[in-house]
Structure 1
Amino acid sequence: MENSNDFFNSTALPNTTMASHMPPCGEEWTRIDMSTLIPAIFSIISIFGTVGNVLAISVLAHSSTPKSVANTFMVNLCVADLLFLLSLPLWAAYYSQNYNWTFGRVTCKICGALLNFNLYASIFFIMCMSIDRYLAIVHPLRSLSARDPKIAIFTCILVWVLACLCSAPTLALRDIHAIPELDVKACGIKYPNETWFFALAWMKVIVGFVLPLIVICCCYGVIGRHLLADTGLVRMQSTKQSVKKCVESKDQKGTFERPPTPCPHPRSGNSKPLEGRGLQRVLWTVAAVVIAFFLCWFPFHCITMFDIGKAYGWLEGCWVDWTIQNFTPITLCLGFSNSAINPLLYCFIGHHFRGRLGGLCKGLGACVKARGEEHHSQKRGSFSTRLSSFSRKLSDLKDLAIVENAHPA
């Protein structure tokens, strides 16, 4: 019950370990060589993601409310992404060596566990942030007790524990397996039986994608409807007040001293431009969160469903094996890019965060400049000290020469 092709996709859920009863595929179904492309993409994601998450953690730690509910979830999300991104260079090297793991058995287990841990933890934290935004916008008063920083910390601990439990089977099953026909030692999972494969595959799809996506879409759907309803109510009230003032002005003066401005109609729907821009920005941010989450992880879980369909016998043929083998690394790149996109979506897109980042950069620049000036003044003082010392010695030599000339031997 083992297939050497199972370990080609060993950075994620491997292909089923059940032996295939299909005849061998021809040369037209050979695996595409991605030993250069995938490591390059992994390296870019690792660099930009690490820089972005480190900056996000630094800014959030130096913010005016570092222990707020939103900041607590953001920091934990950035830490979870950062832990995985630090292991991504090893996976890049793994792909560049054509699926040959050279970093040892313990490192194989840890990196595999970090990958699965990040898949669950990042999605769980995004879901927690979505629920927090729902409570803050839709139920701002009733949710004051629920949106307590201590409860947020407890929720984060619970998320870390759940993510660890979901990643525990990967830590136990992942190991180094020699594939003699390919002359490599792959870091992959060898499932004990079909039950293990199906259980972990369905858990990855349902717990790691479907349920969080439903919660996120429901939260942001209610948020969008609430904002639209509130804005419509504000517009109607504002228009009614304008009409009332206009009518009262006519009743008091009888006539206008100058050509009057047409009174707004109660159903005209005119509103302040700032309200429209603010609402549009919030709704676009909400849409970006949901779309990024969906686009990053949906392709990977589609490939996982292909793998499940193949194991159940629903999908057969060389095209299925070819699709799973070649599209798993590409969909992994999309999924991993979510760790680099998260700081942009949740932090850098906000005006307050950009302001705090600018303040932090200015503070660091001022500190560097002050240290440079201090070092320069120290060097200048040291040079002045040496120059004055040299001048004194020169003066002493002149005095000695004068004394010797005055009293020759």
Structure 2
Amino acid sequence: MVANISSMVEEPNKTNSDNCSLESDNWTFTYVPPYILSISVLGIVLNIFVLMVFFLHKKPCTVSEIYLSNLAAADLFLVSFLPFWAVNAWNKFDWIFGLAMCKIVKVSILMNAYCSIYFLVLVSIDRYLAVVHPLFHGGMRRPKFAKICCVVVWILGLILSFPRLINTKLAPDKNITYCSEPNLVVSEWMILVLGFFIPISIIFFCTVNILRALRNRFMEGVKTRRNDHKANTLVLAVLLAFLICWVPFHLRNIPTWLNKAGMLTDCSSKNIQYVCGQIFTYLAFFNSVLNPILYVIVGRNFRDKLKELFKQWDQKRSATISITSARTKLLRSVKSQQITN
């Protein structure tokens, strides 16, 4: 999903063969850095908050919660590296952090893209089995199997990001050094096929069948279990948010390919492509902030966990205070006895 980021946010000042160029005081140099930093700070705080609720709660996570917690970890992984992009944009895309960080930041963003979409695939499959095949009690809906699937997704994300690790280089151009990937064609098609079309097809299939099964149950007067209804609502909200944030990014590749084919080559078209590329890229990044907000607003199970966690902390605090007061009373009684003796 982020394969084309290097081509659209790193070299805006380069002059094209037909003398098309963007102004040096482009809005991306002034407004984008604060926006990215805001996303980074909010994303770090909110996703750590979500992970704390999932991991500190006394009850074990359900299969869906295991997948969603890993999705939060992937979002946290992404936003933790966004400040480097903010500084890069502030410096008018002059990379100052060296080759190693150039590779690490690029790979981390791409890994998030792959891992996020495949965690959503796992969530969709789990909800599909729970709603469409409710009598299915095989190993696929067990927490142990879910954890194994998450490990596989992380490894897959790293493997699919490995070509970027090799190809990313520092490209000096006059007084500016760009962090770029020269050979983007293979990466673009890998992301488009493996990181979008295939997983989105699976998600679409699962979602359509989930909605169809829920509609049939409603028509037949069959009530959905309260916990299943909560989980389905949250999953559908997260999927919708993902599509809203990421689909525009892939659609902006269409005019880019037309440009490479010799169409839409005038300066105004190129400038529109650049502006849309910027907006759609940072809209995609915003998804990492939107997910934890949805957990709180839409996720009733998550809110229940949060309330129970606060009760746990309150009980522990009350127990600590009572123990402290009991010790204080005991010490006072001992001292008073010593004085009387």
TM-score range, shorter chain: 0.7 to 0.9
Sort the Cα spacing of 1:36 and 1:380 in 2 relative to 1 into closer, same or farther, 3 A. farther
Q: Is the 8 A contact 1:116 1:167 kept in 2?
A: yes
After TM superposition, give the deviation of residue 129 of structure 1 in Å: 0.3
Q: C-alpha deviations, 1:112-161, integer Å up to 9, x for none?
A: 10011111110110111011100011102124333122322222122112
Residue aligning to 1:125 = 119
Letter in 1 for 2:282: C
**Partner SS for 2:179:** strand
1:359 aligns with 2:316: no
Residue 187 in structure 1 maps to residue 182 in structure 2: no
Asked if the contact 1:7/1:186 (under 8 Å) is kept, the reply is: no
Q: Partners of 1:380 and 1:345 in 2: how far apart?
A: 48
| Partner residue of 1:210 out of 197, 210, 217 | 197
Which amino acid is 1:299 matched to?
P
- Residue in 1 aligned with 2:46? 52
3-state SS, counterpart of residue 130 of structure 1: helix
- Unaligned segments of structure 1, at least 5 residues: 1-5, 192-196, 236-273, 393-409
Identity score, percent? 29
Query: Is the CA contact 1:56–1:343 (under 8 Å) kept in the aligned structure 2?
Result: yes
SS in 2 for 1:34: helix
Structure 2 Cα separation of the partners of residues 375 and 76 of structure 1:
39
The code of the aligned residue for 2:146 comes to A
Q: What is the aligned partner in structure 2 of residue 405 from structure 1?
A: none
Match of 2:91, as an amino acid?
Q
1:308 aligns with 2:257: yes
For 1:128, the aligned partner's letter is L
> Which amino acid counterpart does residue 292 of structure 2 have in structure 1?
P
2:153 matched to 1:166? no
Provide closer, same or farther for how the CA distance between residues 102 and 20 of structure 1 changes in structure 2, counting only shifts above 3 A: closer
Partner residue, 2:9: 9
Secondary structure in structure 1 of the residue aligned to 2:135 = coil
Bigger Rg, structure 1 or 2: 1
Match of 1:77 among 71, 78, 88: 71
Contact kept, 8 Å, 1:31 with 1:322, in 2: the verdict is: no
Correspondence for 2:272:
323
Q: Which moved more, 1:357-366 or 1:35-44?
A: 357-366
Report the alpha carbon displacement of residue 364 of structure 1 after superposing the two structures with TM.
3.6
SS at match of 2:140: coil
Please name the residue that 1:337 is paired with: 286
Residue aligning to 2:20: 25
Q: Distance in 2 between matches of 1:134 and 1:74?
A: 15
1:97 aligns with one of 78, 91, 94: 91
- Does structure 2 retain, via aligned residues, the 8 Å contact 1:46–1:88? yes
Superposition deviation, residue 286 in structure 1? 5.6
Counterparts of 2:80 and 2:205 in 1: how far apart (Å)? 33
Query: Which deviations, in whole Å up to 9, do the C-alpha atoms of 1:247-288 show, x marking residues without a partner?
Result: xxxxxxxxxxxxxxxxxxxxxxxxxxx97x999977765653
Judge conservation of contact 1:63–1:356 (CA < 8 Å) in 2.
yes
Residues 7, 187 of structure 1: 8 Å contact kept: no
The Cα offsets for residues 336-360 of structure 1, whole Å up to 9 and x where unpaired, read as 1111122233565222210211222
* CA shift in 2, pair 1:377/1:179, >3 Å: farther
Q: Quick one: which amino acid aligns to residue 171 of structure 1?
A: L
Q: Root-mean-square deviation (CA), in Å?
A: 3.6
The alignment partner of 1:176 has SS state of strand
What TM-score, normalized by structure 1, do the two folds share? 0.69
Give the CA deviation at 1:229. Answer: 0.6
Find the aligned partners of 1:43 and 1:373 in 2 and give their Cα distance.
44
CA displacement 1:283-310 (0-9 Å, x = unmatched): 7656533431221011211223332332
Kindly indicate whether the alpha-carbon contact (under 8 Å) linking 2:233 and 2:299 is maintained by their aligned counterparts in 1.
no
Q: In the comparison of the two structures, how many residue pairs are matched?
A: 329
Q: In 1, Cα distance between the equivalents of 2:315 and 2:142?
A: 36
Measured in 1, the distance between the counterparts of 2:228 and 2:155 equals 37
Given that 2:54 and 2:61 are in contact with CA atoms closer than 8 Å, whether structure 1 keeps it comes out as no
Q: Which runs of 5+ in 2 are unaligned?
A: 1-5
TM-score where L is the length of structure 2? 0.82
3-state SS of paired residue (1:187): strand
State the AA in 1 paired with 2:173.
Answer: I
Contact kept? 2:33, 2:87, Cα under 8 Å? yes
- In structure 2, what is the Cα distance between the partners aligned to 1:99 and 1:380? 65
Q: How far has the Cα of 1:371 moved from its partner?
A: 6.5
Q: Which residue of 1 aligns with 2:206?
A: 219
Change in 2 beyond 3 A, CA 1:65/1:375: closer
What is the letter of the counterpart of residue 213 of structure 2?
H
Farther-moved stretch of structure 1 (31-40 vs 50-59): 31-40
**Alpha-carbon distance, 1:210 to partner:** 2.3
Aligned to 1:270: none
